[in-house]
Chain A
Amino acid sequence: MNGFNLSRSICTRQLLQTKRRRKITEFEPRIIVFACNWCTYAAADIAGTSRIQYPHNVRIIRVMCSGMIDPIYVLRAFERGADGVIVAGCNYTDCHYIDGPVKCDVMFEKLGKCIHTLGLEDERLRRELISTSEGTIFAKVIKDMVNQLKKLGPSPFRKKVKS
Chain B
Amino acid sequence: MTLEDIIKETKTYYCLECGKCSSICPISRHNPSYSPRLMLEKALNGFEGDLINDQELFSCLSCYNCLLRCPADVDYPLFMQKVRALASAQGKYGVPAHSGTLQSLMRLMSNPAIEQRRLEWLSDEYRISEKADILFFVGCAPYFESVLDFKTGALDIAKDSLKILNALGIEPMVLADEKCCGHDLLWTGDVKTFRKLAEHNARIIKESGAKKIIFSCPEGYRTFKFDYPHYVDLDCELQHITEFLAENMGKGKLNFKEAKKKVTYQDPCRLGRHLGVYEQPRKLIEAIPGIELTEMEHIRDESICCGTSAWTNCDAYSKQIRTERLLEAKATGAEMLITACPKCQIHFKCAMVSKGEERGPDVEMDVMDIVNLVASALGDNGSE
Contact = CB atoms under 8 A, between A and B. Distances in A.
A27 to B, nearest CB: 15
A96 to B, nearest CB: 23
Interface secondary structure of A, over-half rule:
helix
B104 A76 contact: yes
B101 A71 contact: yes
B26 to A, nearest CB: 28
A106 B215 CA distance: 32
Contact of A156 (B99, B101, B104, B113): B113
Contacts of A151: none
A113 B107 contact: no
B117 interface: yes
A120 B146 CA distance: 15
Given A118-B108, A118-B116, 20 more contacts: A71-B147, A72-B101, A72-B104, A75-B105, A75-B108, A76-B104, A79-B108, A111-B146, A116-B117, A117-B116, A117-B117, A117-B143, A118-B109, A118-B117, A119-B116, A120-B114, A156-B114, A157-B113, A159-B113, A160-B111
Contacts of B145: 113
A160 B100 CA distance: 20
Contact of B99 (A71, A113, A119, A157): A71
B120 interface: yes
A157 B117 contact: no
A160 B113 contact: yes
Contact of B111 (A72, A110, A111, A156): A156
B104 A75 contact: yes
Interface string A65-86: 0000011100110110000000
Interface secondary structure of B, over-half rule:
helix
A11 interface: no
Which 4 residue pairs are nearest across A and B when measured between Cβ atoms? Answer: A113-B146, A156-B113, A75-B104, A72-B99
B169 interface: no
A78 B114 CA distance: 12
Interface in A40-55: none
B108 A78 contact: yes
Contacts of A114: 101, 105, 143, 146-147
A79 B107 contact: yes
A129 B149 CA distance: 23
B115 A72 contact: no
Contacts of A119: 114-117
Interface string B137-177: 00000110111000000000000000000000000000000
Interface string A26-40: 000000000000000
A49 B143 CA distance: 43
Contacts of B42: none
A135 B115 CA distance: 37
Interface of B: 98-101, 104-105, 107-109, 111, 113-118, 120, 142-143, 145-147
Nearest to B111: A160
B328 to A, nearest CB: 32
B111 A117 contact: no
B180 to A, nearest CB: 11
A96 B83 CA distance: 46
B218 to A, nearest CB: 22
Nearest to B109: A118
Contacts of B105: 75, 114, 118
Contacts of B107: 79
Contacts of A111: 146
Contact of A75 (B101, B113, B142): B101
Contacts of A156: 111, 113-114
A113 B114 CA distance: 15
A70 B111 CA distance: 22
Contacts of B99: 70-72
Interface in A104-142: 110-111, 113-114, 116-120
B104 to A, nearest CB: 4
A157 B111 CA distance: 7
A111 B101 CA distance: 10
A113 B111 CA distance: 18
Contacts of A116: 117
A79 to B, nearest CB: 6
Contacts of B120: 117
Nearest to A107: B149
Contacts of B116: 117-119
A119 B145 CA distance: 16
A16 to B, nearest CB: 27
A76 B109 CA distance: 13
A159 B116 CA distance: 17
Contacts of B147: 71, 110, 114
A54 B147 CA distance: 34
A86 B277 CA distance: 47
Q: Which of B105, B108, B113, B118 has the most CB of A within 10 A?
A: B108
B116 to A, nearest CB: 5
Contact of A117 (B100, B101, B104, B118): B118
